[in-house]
Amino acid sequence: MKVLVTGGAGFIGSHVTEELLKNKLQVVSVDNCVTGFHDNVPLGVNLYKMDLNDPELEFVFKDEKPDYVIHLAAQASVMASMNDPYLDFSTNTAGTVKLLQLVKKYNVKKFLFASTAAVYGEPSYLPIDEEHLIHAQSFYALSKYSAENYIKHYSQYNGVESCILRFSNVYGPRQNENGEAGVISIFINRLLANQKVKIYDGSQTRDFIYVKDVAHACQLALLSEVSGVFNISSCTETGIEDLYFKITEATGIPAMPSYEPRRVGEIEKSILNNRKARQELSWDLKYTLLEGLSETIKYYSEKHVKTNIRV
């Protein structure tokens, strides 16, 4: 069985690739490496360094004949989406439609899509389940939700089997510490570099899930017979200030943060209900927050040592 992973050189895509290889599936990858890195792709996996909207994408389907597609490639920055909604639309919505056309044409067995908790916007109840109202508050969320609707349409009228996974806040090794989303990798890297950490208020809460738990959910959803929308989350609420002190304790670097007012437009609380995924995908979490943090800190500590030696 061969799986085409888009975004395979990215943070989550590289862990999904490892999970698939561990389960004896063949993997090929498409990624333009705009935020991903060739080094993230395991040895032996063919990486097509290509944009989703490149007309040559069809040759990948023709030559590789993938049985399945996991679509993770995306413009994943909310800030970038607000600055350039067209770029966001062309990658996240149009790029997905382009893939769906090829998935249909080349009889791919199942299409799995990485969506986001951002589609729910400000929650009207917690934990947010899959029936919660959709209220996309950024162009990023809108582009993802539009892609979801194309996927649903393709499933309903064009016979494309699909699953949509809405991830909460994913963290772990290889997350880009210069990105805007990865608060855990930002905190760890600043502490390791003896830099001050800024906390904007800190009472807001998020639902953090370890990337290996996400990769496992992707593998189960791909090979199961279920379809539809699933939240993939830890269903555990963690305050940002609390998270910071968990990290200082785990790193053994007891630095105090500096506090700033809450940023405008930030959601106060976020927690996703994961009951549907646990019941229908027979998936469960393997990592507690402390276990995931410990693996992530180990990864970044080793990276810092290597970088400092090179300097």
Evaluate whether 33 touches 8 at the Cβ level (below 8 Å): no
Task: Determine if 36 is a binding residue for ligand NAD (CB under 6 A).
Answer: yes
Residue 254 CB, nearest approach to ligand NAD (Å)? 27
* Residues paired with residue 26 on neighbouring β-strands, in sequence order: 2
Q: For ligand NAD, which is the closer residue by CB, 24 or 132?
A: 132
- In whole angstroms, the minimum distance from the beta carbon of 172 to ligand NAD comes to 9
- Tokens for 131? 């029936």
- From residue 54 to residue 73, the character string flagging contacts with ligand NAD as x (rule: CB under 6 A) and all else as - is ------------------xx
Is residue 172 involved in binding ligand NAD (CB under 6 A)?
no
Pairwise CA distance, residues 25 & 219, whole Å: 10
- Identify the DSSP state of 39: G
Rg (CA), the chain: 19
Torsion angle, alpha carbons of 178, 184, 189, 194, to 10? 120
Tokens (6 digits) for 294: 């410990």
Name which of residues 175 to 214 contact ligand NAD (CB under 6 A): 176, 181
Q: Based on CB atoms, which residue is closest to ligand NAD, 160 or 184?
A: 184
Give CA–CA dist 278/237, Å, rounded: 18
Q: Which is nearer to ligand NAD, 36 or 66 (CB)?
A: 36
Residue 140 among the catalytic residues: yes
Task: Give the interface with ligand NAD as residue ranges (CB under 6 A).
Answer: 7, 9-13, 31-36, 51-52, 72-76, 91, 95, 114, 116, 167, 169-170, 176, 181
Active-site amino acid positions: 140
